[in-house]
Amino acid sequence: MKLKNLVGERFKERPSDCKIDSHALMVRGGYIKYVANGIYSSFVPIKRIARKIEQIIREEMDKIDGQEVMFPVVLPASLWEESGRYESVGDELLRISDRNNNKLVLGMTHEEAAVHLVREYGQSYLKYPFMIYQIQTKFRDEARPRGGLIRVREFTMKDAYSFHTSQDDLENYYAKCHKAYERIFERVGLPQVISVASDSGMMGGNVSHEFMLLTPVGEDSIVTCRNCDYRSNMEAAENIVNIIENTEEDIKLVHTPNAHTI
């Protein structure tokens, strides 16, 4: 299709509400359009790019015996109550009700739905191991959307869930998934992305990694070791310094009349 027939406006001026270059370029180039805070519509160019990335992801997941499924966007709250996350997850989870006052949630992640899907299938140990994945639109009520698509409330997510009968089998498959993600970033043209240890957060688990692209407009900080291969998000980094806390004997009251600031 000729550019003149492509839906979307392209212009030279930098939008006043765009704080970083990538956000400004996507708006100016007719890739995305602002709808609401942290929510954007996608024009044809970015949709075509996303489709190519999704195909790469599918190919790499299929190589490690992943099976693509699709979960509902809206889930009954009972599934989340069963796992305990209906109450434990904060305001990021959008809780709603239908016309019959049945409690529902807008799926921000699908661990509960994955277990529900394979609950009957997984009753025999002969079925294990197996992995299912999906590529779907998610919504999280992010408190601080910023930077265009860097931090949003609605986004496309590939989430995968694997099932195993032993910890050793899980760890071996985790390593396979890690290699698959490295291949994905290489194929999309981001070989400089690095993997660092991270906090599992609401997902739980003992081991977690996230792939980081170093950029001046990023929000997280990472720590690396020059003498070994240790890399971690600052939030999950191990601390080897002994922190000496003040004891009660070190604390004393000081009279500060008419002092309104410290």
> Domain residue spans in the chain?
44-189, 192-240
- In degrees rounded to 5, what are phi and psi of residue 150? -70, -50
Q: How confident is the model at residue 204 (pLDDT cuts 50, 70, 90)?
A: low
User: Which position has the higher pLDDT, 15 or 231?
Assistant: 15
Q: How confident is the model at residue 179 (pLDDT cuts 50, 70, 90)?
A: very high
Give CA–CA dist 141/134, Å, rounded: 21
Residue 233's DSSP bridge partners are: 222
Give yes or no for residue 220 having a pLDDT over 90: no
DSSP code of residue 69: -
Cβ–Cβ under 8 Å, residues 131 and 66: yes
Its pTM stands at 0.81
Cβ–Cβ under 8 Å, residues 137 and 156: yes
| Correct CATH for 44-189 of 3.30.930.10, 3.40.50.620, 3.40.50.720, 3.40.50.300 | 3.30.930.10
H or E element that contains 202: none
